[in-house]
Amino acid sequence: MPVTAMASQTTGTATAAAAAAAGPQAGSGGPDGRVEAAWRRRVQIEGIGVLASCAMQVAYLARQWHTAAPRDNYFVAASVLHHFVVLALMSGQGAPLYRKYRVPIYATMRPLGYLNPSVCSVKAAASQLLATPASAGAWGALVDLKTVLLATRTMGTAVIGVVVAMPPLVALFVQSGSTYLASNAAGYCSTQLLRDPLTQARLARFAGTLDLLSLPLSAAVPIPMERAPEEQAEKTCHALLALLQLLLAVALPLLLLARWEWREPRREPPPGPLPTSWHARALRRAARAAMLANWGIWRACTLLTRSVAWPAALWLLVSVPWVAIIAALGL
């Protein structure tokens, strides 16, 4: 992972960044007092986000306690315990450690939580919500969309990615890794809600709309082979879930952070004596590459959110991934 110094260069507001270096003796009226107040607000916001996620896991565990297999209950309980560990690191005796190593702690603990089998299970935790028929009408479609966002962990991944603001490179790594670990298109698309004929008809219409909106790029995709209707519906479900998770769980948090949270990061390591040993030179080159990547992600996201040509940027953001997905799946 990127070095912890990157946190003070690129995450949060300027006051939150400076809080990482502030001492515990900060006063209440001067700059140090404002730094302390900003740090406390940051930790409170992050703590509320983690606590809300923990409460959802407890609710899922209570819902499935008498119906799920003991193994599934064990994994959801382990997820609850993981949240308590994170909360313990953020408060009490763990607070100084969290303050000093916030970036590597988060970048490690978040993906570890997604290694829990309950995260992508279709029989436990949030995926239980998919065991229901589709709802009729336009309002029903919105309700079903909300259910899918919750059950596929897309909403939770996106919200935590915004609440716990990380540097650009770390945010991209954590959001992409978490989304990948939570993905289970084959399982999700086999559930009652997504196999419902009404849902499949909606997905087919939406995929057709995306094909039209992504012209002329989509015209370059080879004509797909003929498939049985059931197989075509399953492929369409896979493609739309992939696009949904990519845009909402990865791209959207990065764009929101770029618009309201990140400041321009450094592009070069601070000046200093040139290292003489080969491993010190290798570390310096790696640090420089990480900082350039960090700056590049910030720059790309900033251009997307602040450019006057944002409609064209939005079209590219949706069309390019969609065309790549349908080409990969042969749709």
Summarised one tens digit per residue, pLDDT across range 176-221 is: 998 998 888 888 999 999 999 999 999 999 999 998 988 888 777 7
pLDDT at 10 over 50: no
**Is residue 287 scored above 80 in pLDDT?**
no
Domain range enclosing 15:
5-329
**Residues ≥6 apart with Cβ < 8 Å to 207:** 236, 239, 240, 331
Can you read off the two tokens belonging to residue 78?
């382990």
Exposure of 148 by Cβ count < 10 A (0-12 exposed, 13-18 middle, 19+ buried)?
A: buried
pLDDT of amino acid 125: 66
Identify the CA nearest to 241 among candidates 318, 116, 330, 149: 149
Provide the pLDDT for residue 272. 65
Dist. CA 319–CA 226, nearest whole Å: 23
Across the range 82-97, mean pLDDT stands at: 81
Q: How many domains does the chain have?
A: 1
Provide DSSP, 70-126: HHHHHHHHHHHHHHHHHHHHHSGGGHHHHHHSHHHHHHHHHHHHHTSGGGS-SSSGG
8 vs 92, more confident:
92
At 24 the pLDDT is 44
Distance, CA of 284 to CA of 275 (rounded, Å): 8
Residue pointed to by tokens 């509320």: 48
At 143, is the pLDDT very low, low, confident or very high (cuts 50, 70, 90)? Answer: very high
Per-residue pLDDT tens over the stretch 232-270: 899 999 999 999 999 999 999 998 888 887 777 776 666
Tokens 């698309």 locate to: 189
Kindly tell me if the per-residue pLDDT of 129 is higher than 60: yes
Q: What is the pTM of this model?
A: 0.76
